[in-house]
C-alpha cells in the first residue's frame, strides 16, 4: 500500500491508502493517544512489552501515547493495532 504524507482531518482517506501523518487538531491527537494507550492497557502490557510486540522503540510508544505532533503509527502499525484489538483503523484515528 502506498501512502502519502498529507494533512487531513478526516480518516476517510485511509480507505484509499492515505493516512494522516500529521494531525494538527489537538483534540483529535489527544483522542488518538488515549485510544492507543487504552488498547495497550487492555493487553496489560508495559510500554516496553508493547514496543517489542509491535517492533518499534519504547520511545515511539511513548510519543504515540503522549500525542506528540508528528507521532502517529504508520499504516503498517495501524493495521497491526487494528488486528490485535479488533478495532477499526478509523476508530483508532478518532473516528466512530
Rounded Cα distance, 84 and 9, in Å: 25
For 42-51, write each residue's pLDDT tens digit: 999 999 999 9
Average pLDDT, the chain: 79
Predicted model pTM: 0.72
Domain edges within the chain: 25-92
The three cell numbers of residue 45 are 502490557
For the chain, how many residues are written? 96
CATH fourth-level superfamily of 25-92: lambda repressor-like DNA-binding domains (1.10.260.40)
Rounded Cα distance, 41 and 43, in Å: 5
**pLDDT confidence of residue 82:** 93
Task: Please identify every stretch of the chain with a pLDDT value under 50, giving residue numbers as ranges.
Answer: 1-11, 13-18
For 65-76, write each residue's pLDDT tens digit: 998 877 788 888
DSSP for 13-38, written as a single string = GGGGT-EEEE---HHHHHHHHHHHHH
Angle formed at CA 46 by CA 62 and CA 22, multiple of 5 degrees: 25
Amino acid at each position: 500500500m502506498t501512502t502519502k504524507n498529507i494533512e487531513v482531518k478526516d480518516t476517510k482517506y485511509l480507505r484509499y491508502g492515505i493516512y494522516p501523518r500529521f494531525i494538527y487538531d489537538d483534540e483529535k491527537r489527544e483522542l488518538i493517544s488515549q485510544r492507543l494507550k487504552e488498547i495497550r492497557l487492555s493487553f496489560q502490557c508495559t510500554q516496553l512489552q508493547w514496543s517489542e510486540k509491535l517492533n518499534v522503540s519504547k520511545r515511539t510508544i511513548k510519543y504515540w501515547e503522549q500525542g506528540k505532533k508528528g507521532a502517529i503509527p504508520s499504516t503498517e502499525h495501524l493495521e497491526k493495532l487494528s488486528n490485535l484489538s479488533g478495532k477499526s483503523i478509523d476508530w483508532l484515528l478518532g473516528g466512530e
